[in-house]
Structure 1
Amino acid sequence: MNIHKRIIVQFFIQLTLVFILFFFLFLAIWGVIGFTIMKDEITQDLSKADSTYFSDKINITGDKVTFEEDLKKLVKKQEGWLLVVNDKGNLIGDYNAPNPIPKRFNESTLGELILQKDADSVDYTHWKLDEMKDESPILIFASENMETVILNNIKSTVDWDNQQINLTAPNIQHLNNHSAWVQLINSSGEVVDGYGTKSKSVSKYTMADFQALSANTEVITDAYFDAATEQTIIVGMPNANSATNLKTFLLNINNGIMILFAGLILFLIIFTFWYARKFGVPLVTMMKWIQNLGNGKYEQPFDLGQKNGKLKRKFRLFKDLIATLSNLTETLQKNQTQSRKMVQTREEWISGLSHDLKTPLASIAGYAQMLESKKYSWSEEEAREFAKIIAEKSRYMMKLIEDLTLTYRIKNEALPISKEKVDMIEYLRRTIIHFMNDPANKEVQFDFQPKDKVIFASIDLKWFQRVIDNLIANAIKYNPSGTTINISIEPIEDQLVIITIEDDGEGMDAETLANLFNRYYRGTNTSDSNNGTGLGMAITKQLVQLHGGSINVKSTPHKGTIVRMIIPR
């Protein structure tokens, strides 16, 4: 997967996770708000609770029931009472219940309580304490309708014929304790008698007034109609729960919005820091890395990997880019090292080359001045000797220039070769005989033992001859007298030929061996022109490669050198 697709997948997964987290955060906050509202509603009216609310507030052990203190306070505050009846109708527990209370309820009585067919001044709410069982005990919460209680107490004292309520002292005290009011209304809707704050606010009721009074949630009312006189008595009192519930609801909504807003801000801050760490740190690191590369500092800003060698998690998304930058850094490091080494070796080679040219030029100039001078008269023999030295120095300089030109021609692929099939055994045999016939090589031992009688290969006679001549000449030149040079050739299947030139001479150190094929490297003393131009081995390797082959050299100081060439047949 490329980096483009990986980033798309990463963003999709991360935004999906953010959406899911935000969704659950939203649900959690609204759940808290809903729970708070429900708790406040239960505090005001226990009948709005469900059976799960009582699961940890009522403990039943056999026929013994224990009520939690908080539940007792709540029941007492709401002026109600609790009954616990088992599946057989037996009362096994109660709290704050009025006396007398029956110890057992038959099916008819329970049905009356559950269906609320008792006196209309009491409301009953029931729950199964264990919803999973059919024979679960039943909890009954009962609470009086205070407006109905007041109405029942007052209607017995009303003088319907004289249109007077005739409140008793206990009735007045009851009305005052609950901020209640009472009105007597005749058949025309006129208020003929009343008590309390409401009694003087309306003098005559219309149909709209009755509807408004019924719809008003801030007031709870009850009424009794006397059929004989067609008069109605109305009792009303403030609905404390309505105002409290509205205030609590608004407060909870406000708190919920504040919690939601604070949660979102906290979530955004955490997400911002996480996002900055996830994407910002890798991007800043790579920008720093690229900046270092631009400034010539070819290294990573810091370690991006773990102890096990893998990339740290925050960098894995950009592993392709990091791999590219690592390769670029490594390449630039190698190029920098090679460039420095190349500059150094080039300077050394130019220094040696200029010295090599300077020495023969100084000899040529010196002998030329001597021949030109009128102070001396040279014999013919002396003049010939001077001319011979000048010619030798000129040939050396010419060879140096030709070698330099040749190596650049090969490098720029400007050297054509013409291959032909050659018997390599005969070819090598003649070359070895040529070196053996040279009187300068009389102290060198040659050993040539081919394994086959005939081995053919396609070579360019001119340039491959230079390769063989240079390798054998080096084996002679850089080794002491008495060195043995072994030359062998053998085929590798039907495709390749391997030629080996091995000596038991001085060998080479590691530095010389490592730079052997570098055309700017001279492992010899440049003050001695007989040591050559320093280009021989570089040209040899290039010519072997032009033939489609390869060359390898192994050497051990004071033990000798082995040169192996592999060329195609």
Structure 2
Amino acid sequence: MKWKLTRRFLGSVVTIVVIVGIVNIIILVCLLLYHFKTQEESVETFSRGFSRYIKLQDGNPIVNEEGLKILEKKKAWIQILNGKGEQVASYHTPESLQAAYTPAEIVQMYKYREIDAETTVFVGEAHDFSYFVGIKDRGIGRYVFSYNYVHIIKYLNIILLLFLTVDIMIALVIGFLFGKKLTSPLHILIEGIQQLRERRFKKMAIPKGVYEDVFHNMNELSVKLDEFEKERDKLDRMREEWISNVSHDMKTPLASIHGYAELLKDGAANLTPQELFEYTAIINRQAIYMKDLLDDLNLTMRLRNQQLPLQFQEVDLVVFIRELMIEFLNDSPYADRQIELEANVNKALHPVDKKLMKRAILNFIYNALVHNEEDVVVTIRIDALHPSLDHEKKSSNMASSQGFHTSITIADNGYGIPAKDVAQVFDRYYRGTNTSNTHGTGLGMAIARDIILAHHGNIELSSIENKGTTITILL
């Protein structure tokens, strides 16, 4: 493709140059011929037409007054000869001019500048007399030459061939350079389009000139396509992960539902009402679990892939958490549990999605209650993170709290988490090793962590076995 474009432009340039060269040569030749013809005819016409100023007087030729004035004006002279080549009259002739001529001398006089280098002699005839007209002018010349048509045509062909060869060589050189300069950006552009077709999104260097805007647009297109490709890959991974998670997580409840359904189908007549109730309750519980699992899987996948639009609104976290605790203690089966709130700041305004933030904080509180004894104490503390922290505290917390304004701490004095399990707390399905409680889908902590991250926050966890666990939310 590169050389095809180069040849196309090169052919156009060569054709134009050749045509222009031929036309220029033709015009030049025509102008030269016209110039010589006009120049020659003007002097020859004057010389030959001067006979009208020559009159006969008593059989002798004389030049009338008008003719003499014209000779003076043109700085010319005239010599009139009889049939023997002898001078019978003369006007304004130079002193060195001879008075008689042989036929050969007459021819010599006409062909060459015999008088001086500035005078050209022309021949005319009047009343059976011949005459020489000499005009002294460097701008006037006459060349007499003999030629052979065959030789002239041969030499003209050689000259024309030489001109064409030189012009074509020049055109090839100029055309090649011009074509290369013109087609190089096009070749780069074609390669860029080829890369886009092969899903290789690479920016191209932008050359100066007429193609600059084209390259800018191509680079912008490449960036956009790269973004779309990454987004598509992300969605593909998300779909594959979703399918994998769903298929994995549904196996256990489906197996349970399938087993009890088979039992009911094969032995329903032999089962007591109590057994029927228990089996159908298990199937119902597993179906509800599957529904909750699907909802949680969908939520965590959308959160991790930033596909869930958050409904942000300005919220005072102090008021928000106080109302959340009142609602939790009034309506839940944990109304008699010990939950304390310490607000070390009067107001903490943050843009949050109230529904999701409520779920995250309740998840942390719920885990502190469900994985410990009933007398566990859960403390929720709200603090403002000030830049003016003392040096020691600032040094220890700088890495974790820099850029955040508020911290929410949820601490308990329960069993704590073994050191080997701390790193797995936010993994899917983690339920710990210090409790037999298996209620829930096992995605609560993972979802809560993803909600905090979706709010551009951070979360930290520390735990000491048999002393308790502390979760710090930074916003």
- Normalising by the smaller structure, the TM-score range is 0.3 to 0.5
Larger helix proportion of the pair = 2
Q: TM-score, normalised by structure 2?
A: 0.46
Q: TM-score, normalised by structure 1?
A: 0.40
